[in-house]
Amino acid sequence: MYFDSVQEVLVMNGHGVYVWPAYLITILIIMAVFIAPLRRSNRLLTQVASEVRRANGRVISGSEGEP
Amino acid sequence: MWTFFHKLGSPPWLYSIAGAILRWLVPITLIALVVGMVWGLLFTSPDFRQGNSYRIIYIHVPAAVVALAAYYVMAIAGAVSLIWRIKMADVAMKAAAPVGAALTFIALFTGALWGKPTWGTWWVWDARITSMLILLFLYLGVVALYEAFDNKEAAGKACAVLSLVGMVNIPIIYKSVDWWYSLHQPASIRFTGDSTIDASMLYPLMLMIAAFYALFTCCLLMNMRAELLQRESRTQWVKKLVSKRDRR
């Protein structure tokens, strides 16, 4: 490791205030672009699941067939 | 060869193959990102002129490089969907835009944070930086334009045209540091001739560039899967997928 102490890592000779926010924001954005499509997929799958269940219920009760 | 293209046009096949790729690509990407960041932040020596601020290079350069590559993917997918009316190309184009926007934003934001200690300013209306800002607006433009249309076929066409017109910006970004007097330095890594960067800094940088390419691929595939689910939500294969998921 290049640095000797945790404090040195955080301060980075005064450049820590630039380096750490840059990495922090990057990590946050990476997390966002990773999570957004997963949440969208999950939401869609749950939506389709409830539609399928509703359709199946109708078939069983016999009042209405599938369109 | 043709059967491959035929399969590529099949949503269930694309959905499952993307899922199979993601199963190993996502862990590899995350490991590479963590290793690359820790390596760049803690295990490299500081630049002799810029000190520790140069450590931003390990996210700034990969983000910028892949932001440009993402534009190629988006524009080529747009061209393919315009010319051959391939639906999956339209899906790919729409999936690439938000990821490209995120990468361009990372490049601009980290560039500003790097500029302050190095050039003494957060922002200059410099050729390289301004053309990157235009790239961000092009990505956001494609995202917004797609949402603006109710008719998704028309939306796809408009976005494809916009991304193709925006291609003019790409050579401008590449050449901006050579054509105009610029604060931004020219590229340090060269495929022909010697790179002007030390090997101890080059290796973690290469790792991060690879990691960002993998990151883009992951996000592109995940976005495409979500988009496929939405477009195909009434089809039999999605319903089958859902019932399989329910049973687990």
B69 located within any domain: yes
* 3-state per-residue secondary structure call for A23-61: HHHHHHHHHHHHHHHHHHHHHHHHHHHHHHHHHHHHHHH
B158 located within any domain: yes
Give the total residue count for chain A. 67
In this prediction, residue B34 carries a pLDDT of 96
Q: How far apart are CA B163 and CA B149, in angstroms?
A: 16
B9 located within any domain: no
- Smallest Cα–Cα separation from B209: which of B63, B105, B24, B107? B63
B86 located within any domain: yes
B12 located within any domain: no
Domain boundaries, chain A: 13-52
- Tell me the pTM: 0.90
In this prediction, residue B190 carries a pLDDT of 64
Host domain of residue B132: 17-188+196-241
B42/A contact by beta carbon, under 8 A: yes
In this prediction, residue A35 carries a pLDDT of 95
Cβ B117–A15 below 8 Å, yes or no?
yes
Residues 62-101 of chain B whose Cβ lies under 8 A from any Cβ of chain A? 63, 98-99
ipTM of the complex in this document: 0.89
In this prediction, residue B143 carries a pLDDT of 95
In this prediction, residue B37 carries a pLDDT of 95
- For the record, the structure tokens of A7 come out as 């404090």
B121/A contact by beta carbon, under 8 A: no
B173 located within any domain: yes
Count of the separate structural domains present in chain B:
1
In this prediction, residue A1 carries a pLDDT of 72
B10 located within any domain: no
Cβ B59–A26 below 8 Å, yes or no?
yes
Q: What is the mean pLDDT of residues A33-45?
A: 94
Kindly write down the DSSP assignment for every residue of B192-219, as one continuous string.
Answer: SS--SS-HHHHHHHHHHHHHHHHHHHHH
B27 located within any domain: yes
Distances (CA, A) of B70 to A26, B28, B94, B211: 17, 20, 12, 14
A27 pLDDT more than 60: yes
- For the record, the structure tokens of B43 come out as 């295990």
In this prediction, residue B130 carries a pLDDT of 92
Which H or E run contains B134? helix B127-148
Cβ B109–A25 below 8 Å, yes or no?
yes
Beta bridge partners of B51: B47
- Which residues of chain B, if any, have pLDDT below 50? none
* Chain B residues with beta carbon closer than 8 angstroms to that of A29: 102, 105-106
Judged by average pLDDT, the poorest of A7-11, A39-43, B118-122, B155-159 is A7-11
